[in-house]
Amino acid sequence: MSYLSLEINKEGSNVSLNFFGEFTIYQVNSYQSQIDKINLNAINELSINFLELNYLDSAASIFIHNLSMQLKKQKIKVDLICANKDILDILSLVENYKKKTTYIPTIKTFNIIEKIGKNTLDNFFGFLSFMAFLGKLFINKIKYLSNIKNIRYKEIFFEINESGIKAFWIISLTSFLIGVVVAYQSSFQLKIYGANIFIVDMLGISILRELAPLITAIVIAGRSGSAFTAQIGSMKITQELDAMKTMGFDPYIFLVLPRIIALMIVMPILIFIADIMGIMGGMLVANLDLGITSELFLDRFNETIAVKHFFIGIIKGPFFAFLIASIGIYRGLKVKDDTQSIGLNTTKSVVESIFAVIVCDAIFSIAFINLGI
Amino acid sequence: MMKTLIEVRDIITIFDKKIVHDGLSLSINKGEIYGLLGPSGCGKTTLLREMVMLQNFDSGSINIMGHELDNIKHSEAQKLRQNWGVLFQSGALFSPLSIAENIALPLIEYTDLSQVMIKEIVEYKISIVGLKPEDAHLFPSQISGGMKKKAALARSLSMDPQLLFLDEPTSGLDPISAREFDSLILKLRKLLNLTIVIVSHDLQSIYDTLDRVAVIDNKKIVYEGSLDNIKSINSEFIQTFFAGKF
């Protein structure tokens, strides 16, 4: 192997850089620091000796080029001693292209106020485009429902199976556990006051009215909302949506409405299941921890929990379902022609639909309380 | 006397302040294979997308088979869509459906044909594009690029269209499959009396298949006509692109 090094000889005001072996991209940094140590102010002539050098790569030649340009600026005479034709060629190549290259323009960066303004405007337009989507959806819904023949039962049942029936176990399990947790936490407090039996009132109202619809909506948003975005987004990337349009199949009728309708049908049913499982979880804890038998629990439940609480929970279902499905699909249609976009829009779809569900739930709470229900 | 099937007049397209087309006009006659050529990014595919109503243009007019695409009625647009077939660059077969189901889909949606009849039509279309009958039940993810294009072509032919749009049909195919595809297109034109609009970069395929071409360069049409006297045109794209031939 050839021996690589840089020797710096200083004789008065003359400095010579003697390169040995190869000078490549891996040596640039260490040679740079060696050269930096020379006090350039004290010299007026510098010679670069390539006689012992057998290979120079393009990074190193750019380095040599920049070095000699810098020295020339400081009025230091640069001598290049070189007999190797290959090295001279590569140096002159760099010199020629350096003359031609223009700087890559740096992208204009925005300051924080500009960024805030830009984001606000983007979000505003995003909101407008979501409204445009809802408008289009509404028109299509009218067109769709005006003719009974248009209804695509096959797609609707397929989606009911995909996002409803297949979600049965996960929703059962989550709501059962939520029932257990809530009952366990509150039983500890209730025991202090000896108010054991009130666990029934507490669980009944909180699970039927709030917890079951919310938990179901959150699971469905994570499960089906994200799936809708990814499915429709990838169909957009593979031009399947374009193909549908050119064949005269309106994506709204074939893809969008069946999903929304299926989810709106299936959501109340899932909430009902979540109600049952949540109460069962609570009942188990009440039995084990507070000694309330299931007969007693159900008797008390029958007495104190009005049926309106159940219906309030169920009625939220279609609204939540509409929000989740329409946001999921809207995000899918927003996917652009790059792979990053699917991930980004799926994340956004889940976050936005959970947010929208919670906002919707808050509106329901206020409305129901003001209505005295 | 040739009948004009597509008439494009003074199309202007602007994307975010960037002008893509600045007054394009061209006309495509019935029965010809017409090529849209030009350097990448010149807006050939955009023009094709405008013709098939996937994208709006900012001014000008496009008339296809007597229908003005500007403010076309929904029912007329639907009729037009059943009268043309579009082959996308990647095929764009519907991924949850098998090849046979993909081809059958327009037939199921638009006609009241019996299952048996649909099956026969599908078999016929599969054989006409040169696919094997046993490929019919494969899914788009299980087949090669060349087969995808053939299957997508079969799908676009399923309603017996008069007009076929092909977006870079030979891109991504090996030279043998590409030549096969070219002869398939020529054969289909003869068999089905099709008018075909092709966006292409493939020089061999351009010489083998096209009757007339339009060259888009610098937002304008720099040449429209047959390939025979294209070399006389003073355009950098034409001079470099066609330099090797003739």
pLDDT, residue A175, reads 96
In which element (H, E) is residue A121 found?
helix A112-145
Interface residue A247 vs chain B (CB under 8 A): yes
Selected residues 170-229 of chain B with any CB under 8 Å from a CB in chain A: none
Interface residue B94 vs chain A (CB under 8 A): yes
Question: B-chain residues within 8 Å CB-CB of A244?
Answer: 94
Interface residue A238 vs chain B (CB under 8 A): yes
Question: B-chain residues within 8 Å CB-CB of A243?
Answer: 86, 88, 92-94, 152
How do residues B123-172 score in pLDDT, each as one tens digit?
Answer: 988 888 888 888 889 999 888 888 888 899 899 888 888 899 999 888 88
How do residues A278-333 score in pLDDT, each as one tens digit?
Answer: 999 999 999 998 889 999 999 999 999 999 999 999 999 999 999 999 999 999 99
Contact between A248 and B95 using a beta-carbon 8 Å cutoff: no
Distance from CA of B122 to the nearest CA of A (A): 17
Q: Closest CB to A238: pick one of B92, B105, B110.
A: B92
At A36 the three-state DSSP class reads helix
Paired with A53 in beta bridges are A21
- Domain ranges in chain A are 5-100, 137-370
For chain A, 373 residues long, the average pLDDT of each consecutive 10-residue run is: 74 84 85 82 82 85 86 84 85 82 77 91 91 87 75 88 92 96 92 89 92 95 94 90 89 88 94 96 92 92 92 94 94 87 93 95 93 82
Q: How many CB atoms lie within 10 A of CB B212?
A: 16
Q: How many CB atoms lie within 10 A of CB A256?
A: 25
Longest Cα–Cα distance of chain A, Å, equals 107
Nearest Cα residue in chain A from B158: A247
ipTM comes to 0.84
Name, in order, each residue with C-beta under 8 angstroms of A95's C-beta and a sequence gap of 6 or more.
A65
Residue of B140, B139, B141, B164 whose CA lies nearest to B153: B164
In which element (H, E) is residue A144 found?
helix A112-145
How far is residue B139 from each of residues A17, A356, B4, B93, B106, measured CA to CA in Å? 67, 38, 38, 9, 17
Q: What is the DSSP string of A274-320?
A: HHHHHHHHHHHHHHHHH---HHHHHHHHHHHS-HHHHHHHHHHHHHH
pLDDT, residue B227, reads 82
Mean pLDDT confidence for B87-113: 89
Q: What is the spatial distance between Cα A23 and Cα A29, in angstroms, rounded to a whole number?
A: 11
Question: B-chain residues within 8 Å CB-CB of A238?
Answer: 90, 92, 95
Which CATH number is A5-100 given? 3.30.750.24
Question: A-chain residues within 8 Å CB-CB of B78?
Answer: 248
Contact between A240 and B52 using a beta-carbon 8 Å cutoff: no
Mean pLDDT of chain B: 86
Q: Closest CB to B82: pick one of A239, A244, A248.
A: A248
- Token duo for residue A84: 């190797």
- Spatial contact of B57 and B24, defined as CB atoms under 8 Å apart: no
Contact between B95 and A240 using a beta-carbon 8 Å cutoff: yes
Contact between B92 and A239 using a beta-carbon 8 Å cutoff: yes
Interface residue A245 vs chain B (CB under 8 A): yes
Residues in chain A: 373
Interface residue A139 vs chain B (CB under 8 A): no
Quote the distance between the C-alpha of residue B102 and its chain's center: 18
Cα atoms in the Cβ-side hemisphere of radius 13 Å centred on A36: 7
Q: What is the DSSP string of A156-200?
A: HHHHIIIIIGGGHHHHHHHHHHHHHHHHHHHHHHHHHHT-TTHHH
How far is residue B27 from each of residues A153, A157, A178, measured CA to CA in Å? 43, 47, 68
CATH H-level, domain B1-83+195-246: superfamily:
P-loop containing nucleotide triphosphate hydrolases (3.40.50.300)
Distance from CA of A116 to the nearest CA of B (A): 22
3-state helix, strand, coil in chain B (%, to 5): 40, 25, 35
At A88 the three-state DSSP class reads helix
Q: What is the DSSP string of A341-366?
A: HHHHHHHHHHHHHHHHHHHHHHHHHH
Contact between A248 and B92 using a beta-carbon 8 Å cutoff: no
Question: A-chain residues within 8 Å CB-CB of B88?
Answer: 239, 242-243
Helices A257-290 and A212-220, packing angle to 10 deg: 130
Distance from CA of A70 to the nearest CA of B (A): 41
Contact between B52 and A246 using a beta-carbon 8 Å cutoff: yes
Interface residue A142 vs chain B (CB under 8 A): no
Q: How many CB atoms lie within 10 A of CB B134?
A: 8
* Unique residue bearing structure tokens 């609480």: A309
Contact between A248 and B81 using a beta-carbon 8 Å cutoff: yes
Q: Closest CB to A239: pick one of B81, B82, B88.
A: B88
* Unique residue bearing structure tokens 């002008």: B19
Nearest Cα residue in chain A from B156: A247
Selected residues 40-79 of chain B with any CB under 8 Å from a CB in chain A: 49, 52-54, 77-78
Q: Closest CB to A248: pick one of B54, B78, B88.
A: B78
Mean pLDDT confidence for B68-88: 87
β pairing state of B195-199 and B67-68: unpaired
